[in-house]
Chains A and B, each alone.
Chain A
Amino acid sequence: MSDLGAISLWIALALAAYSTVGSVAGKLRLSPALIESSQSAMYVAGLALLVATFSLVIAFISRDFEIAYVAAHSDLAMADRFTWVAFYAGNEGSLLYISTILAIMSAIAIWRAPEKLKDALPYTTAVLMLTLTFFVAVMAVMANPFDKLPFVPIDGEGINPLLTHFGMFFHPPALMAGLIGITVPFAFAIGSLLAGKTGDEWVDAGRVWGMISWVLLAAGLLLGSWWAYTILGWGGFWFWDPVENAAFMPWLGLTAFIHSIMVQKRRGMFRMWNIVLINMAFGLALYGMFMNRGGSVPSVHSFGASQLGWIFLLFLAVGVVVPFAIFIWRYPLLKSAQNLDSMLSREAAFLVNNLLLLAIAFVTLWGTVYPLLSRLTSDQEITVARPFYDQVNGPLMLGLVFLMGVGPLIPWRKAGINSLRKSLLPPITGGLLTVGILAALGLHKDYALIGFGLSAFVTTGILMEWYRGTRSRHRSSGENYATAFLRLIMANRPRYGGYIVHLSVVMVTLGIVGTSFFGVQRDVVLSPGESTTINDYELTYLGTVETPKSNRTEFASTVQIRRDGKLLETIRTKRVFYPSFNMAATSAAIRSTPVEDLYIVPSENLPDGSVGFRILVNPLIWWMWVAGPVMLLGTVIALWPQKIRAPAPVPSPQRFAPGPRPSAA
């Protein structure tokens, strides 16, 4: 089986390389046959990679320890379901996963590409397949998952215990798919540029694939935070770790892109800017994969450190410089069809939104490279970690939340002062009211007040838009409110799906503000029977059960939670010690409510039966985890294909007049 996998890898490499060269040659020599055969080669390369994936899975399930990768990342004690996780526990499997996903996405993207992109498709195919060739080549030559050991070990080394967590089933694959997925919109952009199609032909495909990558990255980031929250045992979810940053930056770039591409879609503007943005996002994604797989910076993600870093760095350089050169070459063709009408317009708001997103990305990049710079300029290396990012990025993020509330309420082209006042008055009232009420209730932390106020501002704006749209539908068509609301959302999916995503971002904001400013943390050592208090909770530690297993020892400690003398819950925390890794995986016991989480994690088991607990009260963090599904729902709605309706024969003039946007009918 493993030989089949190894052979498929080489076949995929040959096909991808052929497809790259063939599509360019076919395009240049005007040979449709060659172009078609290159496309078929691309589909078959995807099949070959699927075969390779399948054989690695079989090798894991049959615990074929002759294969070095299987021996390094699994053992006999591992449950079969963790094959999915073990598959990408190291570089070799990650590369296979990334390549397979890229091949599948490429095949679908090219197969489903709109007719108007036909001219550019050979170049798009070439960009996709060049990237695939790179990944498969690196894998086949430097990190082959099918390499064999000279002997067959009796048992494998086992899977990293931190990976045996539910979140790990989705966090790495979603992130990796999101990172590599950016190649698709990037390839559409570069393909169109190369073909001289510098107008808006690529915009729809670019937007759809940009959003797919975006939601995959967002889901990956949220799941990663959730994993950190439940298993790393320190009660937080985000640390501005270099690898987190490396995944966060392309997400920021993509967020800027999927907003600004809407401006091109609707108004024919920002043509150059969108190409620059997707180039940047692609560069940042390559950088992300370099950080994750190169292991040049110490991080909690250093699972698969290796020498691959330099190769990735080289590809990163090529992946940034060459597209930029193409951009310069085609620069004269990239003229916007429209100019900005006013500073008070949605276009202008989107530009500022882009600026803030890129500023956050820039600060993050700066923080990541500053230690390297400081090592060059002085003998002392300087660490840049969470306090820096919190202080610099925090205000920028609040600015972004503010724009998220303003942007959707400003009309395209030009906003009249009156209409703006009318549409902004309710959200501003909502925001100020929230600040006032909270301040009256005794909340005096400025940043937190601003955060909550802005959250209310955005939410009110969205609810108001929904209400107005629903009411006008209800009045004009007589639909009842529920139907009218659903039909309203379905009538303009990009817009109302976007609102749902915005709401989920507000939920994340609530979680971040709540835990950052109102979290309470205590470290206590309790003997069995002892109690402690945190806020108005009283916790009693009852005892620990120690269970030795084949590869680990599990400590399960029982804790009773009381409030006002009333027993709320008896919960069980778990700490699992792996002697072979000299590593403990903790799983926190979390009593989660929308108001606050009570978070109890055992940090050490002392010989006398007492346990060191870390206890936290994390207000509002519940909203952050609920935001994930909401975000996904919003994205799906925004992406759901809408029947293409015949263009309206005659536009009503007021559509273009400054004033309140007509609610989508």
Chain B
Amino acid sequence: MTPSIPPRFPAQPATRVLLPLAFFLVFVALAIAQTGALQAQTPEPAYSESQAQGIDRMIMCPVCPAETIDQAQVEISFQMRQVVRDMLTQGSSRDEILDFFVERYGKDILAAPPKSGANLVAWLLPVGGVAAALVAVFFIIRSMTRKEPVLATLRPVQDPDLIPYLQLVDRHLDMTRGGARPIGTSNQPGHGVESSGTGTRSTEENG
């Protein structure tokens, strides 16, 4: 999808011949008149505007805080945008243009670290970190689920008739532990109580 809209030619046969002819004549006339201005007047530019904008977005504006030349509304960014287009017209590639600006202003003119050399770290570290974290979470989840067989034997909530009784036990335990519960022992009474306690809680909240 390019922003430059192709000119619409009317469908009449006469114009189909005449219009290119006219263009050609204008072209020749202009070429004779001023060879220098030729490139600016070429009807079909050698680049697409979106390509130029892609390059604009890779180049920081040297005088404004944290803006690319695509965004910045200052004179130098207008000029730099023009340089990008001039170089594209002369057939420079994206990399050549970026190199040109790096030579002039230093590497920090680029909006992102180059994907080469030491700066590859900038790209690889997050990717590697996320991948490692995903693997870690996988193993954490697996180790958490491994304990299931132990739990399964201690899950008494399946029997509805037991619930009031278990609640009573919980309340009783809370009362005896409640007042001055010594720090560091609350995980001691064992999984049975803990899991039945949670069982009753889910009961309340699922209701």
Q: How many A-B residue pairs have CB under 8 A?
A: 198
Q: Which residues of A contact B125 (CB under 8 A)?
A: 366
Interface bits A649-661 vs B (CB < 8 Å: 1, else 0): 1111101100000
B60, A198: Cβ atoms closer than 8 Å: no
Interface bits A372-390 vs B (CB < 8 Å: 1, else 0): 0010011011111111100
A266, B205: Cβ atoms closer than 8 Å: yes
Cβ 8 A contact of A522, one of B49, B67, B110: B49
- Cα(A241)–Cα(B66), bound, Å: 7
**A232 — nearest CB in chain B belongs to which residue?**
B71
- A645 interface residue, CB < 8 Å from B? yes
Known: A370-B113, A383-B108, A392-B126. A355 touches B137 (CB 8 A): yes
- Cα(A265)–Cα(B125), bound, Å: 35
- Cα(A408)–Cα(B41), bound, Å: 59
B198, A338: Cβ atoms closer than 8 Å: yes
- A533 interface residue, CB < 8 Å from B? yes
- B79 interface residue, CB < 8 Å from A? no
Interface bits B135-147 vs A (CB < 8 Å: 1, else 0): 0010011101101
Within 8 A of A (CB), among B179-207: 181, 183-184, 186-187, 194-195, 197-207
B110 to chain A, nearest CB (A): 6
- A268 interface residue, CB < 8 Å from B? yes
- A647 interface residue, CB < 8 Å from B? yes
Q: Which residues of A contact B72 (CB under 8 A)?
A: 234
- A300 interface residue, CB < 8 Å from B? yes
A355, B133: Cβ atoms closer than 8 Å: yes
- Cα(A50)–Cα(B81), bound, Å: 50
Within 8 A of B (CB), among A323-345: 332-333, 335, 337-343
Cβ 8 A contact of A387, one of B50, B108, B112: B112
Known: A351-B137, A647-B207, A649-B164. A522 touches B201 (CB 8 A): no
- Cα(A384)–Cα(B49), bound, Å: 24
A298, B141: Cβ atoms closer than 8 Å: no
A521, B3: Cβ atoms closer than 8 Å: yes
SS of B interface (majority): helix
B154 to chain A, nearest CB (A): 11
A603, B1: Cβ atoms closer than 8 Å: no
**B125 — nearest CB in chain A belongs to which residue?**
A366
B65, A300: Cβ atoms closer than 8 Å: yes
Q: Which residues of B contact A392 (CB under 8 A)?
A: 123, 126-127
Known: A370-B113, A378-B118, A386-B57. A651 touches B206 (CB 8 A): yes
Query: Looking at B60, B68, B125, which has the most chain A CB atoms within 10 Å of its CB?
Result: B68
- Cα(A33)–Cα(B38), bound, Å: 89
Give the size of the chain B interface in residues (CB under 8 angstroms). Answer: 71
- A62 interface residue, CB < 8 Å from B? no
- Cα(A71)–Cα(B78), bound, Å: 35
Within 8 A of A (CB), among B112-131: 112-113, 118-119, 122-123, 125-127, 129-130
B71, A523: Cβ atoms closer than 8 Å: no
Q: Which residues of A contact B118 (CB under 8 A)?
A: 377-378
Q: Which residues of B contact A388 (CB under 8 A)?
A: 111-113, 122-123
A597 to chain B, nearest CB (A): 15
**B203 — nearest CB in chain A belongs to which residue?**
A651
Interface bits A61-73 vs B (CB < 8 Å: 1, else 0): 0000000000000
B137, A383: Cβ atoms closer than 8 Å: no
**A602 — nearest CB in chain B belongs to which residue?**
B73
The segment out of B16-24, B28-36, B155-163 that lies at the interface is B155-163
A370, B66: Cβ atoms closer than 8 Å: no
A339, B133: Cβ atoms closer than 8 Å: no
A651, B3: Cβ atoms closer than 8 Å: no
**A532 — nearest CB in chain B belongs to which residue?**
B5
Cβ 8 A contact of B3, one of A242, A337, A339, A522: A522
A394 to chain B, nearest CB (A): 12
Within 8 A of A (CB), among B38-77: 49-50, 53, 57-58, 60, 65-68, 70-73
Known: A300-B67, A335-B187. A655 touches B195 (CB 8 A): no
Cβ 8 A contact of A656, one of B50, B112, B158: B158
**B49 — nearest CB in chain A belongs to which residue?**
A522
- Cα(A266)–Cα(B184), bound, Å: 24
- B103 interface residue, CB < 8 Å from A? no
**A612 — nearest CB in chain B belongs to which residue?**
B78
Interface bits A618-662 vs B (CB < 8 Å: 1, else 0): 000000000000000000000000000101111111011000001
- Cα(A366)–Cα(B183), bound, Å: 39
B102 to chain A, nearest CB (A): 10
Interface bits A287-313 vs B (CB < 8 Å: 1, else 0): 000000000011110100000000000
Cβ 8 A contact of B78, one of A242, A362, A534, A604: A604
Within 8 A of B (CB), among A383-404: 383-388, 391-392, 396
**B2 — nearest CB in chain A belongs to which residue?**
A520
| 17 A-B interface contacts by CB (under 8 A) | A196-B183, A198-B186, A266-B202, A333-B183, A351-B140, A352-B137, A359-B133, A380-B108, A382-B110, A382-B119, A382-B122, A385-B112, A392-B123, A612-B78, A647-B207, A648-B207, A650-B164
Hey, which bits of chain A sit against chain B, CB under 8 A? 196, 198-199, 232-234, 236, 239, 241-242, 265-268, 297-300, 302, 332-333, 335, 337-343, 348, 351-352, 355, 358-359, 362-363, 366-367, 370-371, 374, 377-378, 380-388, 391-392, 396, 518, 520-523, 533-535, 584, 586, 603-604, 612, 645, 647-653, 655-656, 662
8 closest Cβ contacts across the A-B interface?
Answer: A648-B207, A647-B204, A298-B65, A234-B71, A340-B144, A387-B112, A385-B111, A388-B112
